[in-house]
Amino acid sequence: YIGKWHLYANQLGNHNDPRNSFTPPGPDRLGFDGYWAAYGFHHVYYNAYYHTDSPEKIFYGKGVYEPDAQTDMMIDHIAKASKSDKPFAAFLSIGTPHDPWGANNVPKKFVDMFKDVDFPNPPNYKDENDKYADGWGRLRPQQRKDLPNWRRYYYAMTANLDWNVGRLMRALDRMGLAEDTIVVFSSDHGEMFGAQGRRAKNIFYEEACHIPFLIRWPRKIAAGARPDACLATVDIMPTVLSLMGLEVPEAAEGTDLAPCALGKKPPEPEAAFLQNTGACAAWQDGHEWRALRDNRYTYAIYRVDKSELLFDNITDPHQMKNLARDPEHKDTMGRFRKMLAAKMKSINDTFAKCTWYRDNWIDGNRVIIKTAQG
């Protein structure tokens, strides 16, 4: 495992506490028992560090850009692992693109690629902050002025990421491993950048949650195939295990969608379930929501006032027209309400307020890792 781990935070009660950066060898690494060069949480990509099997910080070096160094490490690791007759599996977790957005957090040559590019506000940009946004999701006046440059740095980071992924793919080609290596590329979230009156993430709008999920396996998967299954985060583990020919645990919550990637038409989830417990960085109540995204619609409901939203993502890709109260969509609303209630019941989701998680999760000294272990 190489890169950002981000699963050991809150052990000390503070998501940003630097002491959460090191995850000791053992069960808290969730089965990653081989090479380890990771850290818990930081977003400064020059003069960055990682840990191996001790809390000691290992720095990449002055002037070294972290994503470049991590890609080098992964290429080197694969070169060594491929000399064995045993199959290998590796996870490269690059932190970019991520704020802080600035010229000191991305190589100049990638910033220069976009120096003459105009980055106007999108059609669904709003001058007023979304009333349901927490403090993290709201934009201050100066931040609104900074949006064009933020987008420029975002694209610069993304271009660098694209370059590094290309280096990794070419390395697999050079080593003669491409045909039989399954490569999965995804992300955890996008960025709002003023769309819908929001910044950052943690929301059901397309800019934040409609992320890429790409698979390359030349021997088994046709290039350019685009299945339209609704894949959610919980589906990734069973899907990848299945592609690898490994057993999927019975307790896995997600669906194995590997057949979709292989060109088959298996039963698929009717929709992807989206869940947000609120502003857990600040423990603010009133921002919690649940949502569903199927092949056409996004349905969402806020806990605080039971306000509902329904968007037709085909006819309204910028999600500017809320159809929740449209009589013509009464049946669609009924279908989504029933679907959401069934899903929440199946996973014992009580739709609690944000501070409930503080009182029952953090104060009980429970971290994501330990919760996963039961």
State whether 245 and 291 are in the same domain.
no
State whether 111 and 99 are in the same domain.
yes
User: Which helix (DSSP H) or strand (DSSP E) does residue 58 occupy?
Assistant: strand 58-59
| Upstream peptide bond of 97 is cis (omega within 30 degrees of 0) | yes
CATH number, domain of 67, equals: 3.40.720.10
Last residue of a domain, one of 270, 300, 317: 270
Question: How far is it, in rounded angstroms, from Cα 33 to Cα 327?
Answer: 55
Q: Which residues of the chain have pLDDT under 70?
A: 8-18, 281, 361-374
pLDDT at 367: 57
State whether 252 and 324 are in the same domain.
no
State whether 221 and 256 are in the same domain.
yes
Cα torsion angle, 259, 264, 270, 271, sign = positive
State whether 264 and 293 are in the same domain.
no
- What is the Cα Rg of the chain in Å? 21
State whether 222 and 285 are in the same domain.
no
CATH number, domain of 301, equals: 3.30.1120.10
State whether 81 and 98 are in the same domain.
yes
Residue among 230, 154, 156 nearest 192 (CA): 154
Question: How far is it, in rounded angstroms, from Cα 238 to Cα 229?
Answer: 14
Average pLDDT, the chain: 92
pLDDT at 15: 58
Contact 209, 190 (CB under 8 A): yes
Tell me what percent of the residues of the chain surpass a pLDDT of 90: 78
Last residue of a domain, one of 270, 288, 319: 270
User: Which helix (DSSP H) or strand (DSSP E) does residue 275 occupy?
Assistant: strand 272-276
pLDDT at 9: 60
Question: How far is it, in rounded angstroms, from Cα 330 to Cα 183?
Answer: 42
**pLDDT, tens digit (0-9, with 9 covering 90-100), for 36-69:** 999 988 888 999 999 999 999 999 999 999 999 9
State whether 38 and 163 are in the same domain.
yes
CA–CA distances in Å: residue 51 to residues 1, 4, 40, 75, 199: 11, 11, 9, 18, 31
State whether 232 and 368 are in the same domain.
no
State whether 200 and 337 are in the same domain.
no
Last residue of a domain, one of 246, 270, 294: 270
Question: How far is it, in rounded angstroms, from Cα 294 to Cα 152?
Answer: 31
User: Which helix (DSSP H) or strand (DSSP E) does residue 290 occupy?
Assistant: strand 289-293
Q: Domain range spanning residue 327?
A: 271-374
Contact 125, 194 (CB under 8 A): yes
CA–CA distances in Å: residue 73 to residues 1, 36, 182: 10, 11, 18
Number of domains observed in the structure of the chain: 2
pLDDT at 7: 78
**pLDDT, tens digit (0-9, with 9 covering 90-100), for 60-118:** 999 999 999 999 999 999 999 999 999 999 999 999 999 999 999 999 999 999 999 99
CA–CA distances in Å: residue 154 to residues 160, 192, 226: 10, 11, 26
Q: Is the pTM of this model over 0.85?
A: yes
State whether 120 and 66 are in the same domain.
yes
Tokens at 224, concatenated: 């350019």
State whether 61 and 208 are in the same domain.
yes
What pairs with residue 183 in β-bridges?
216
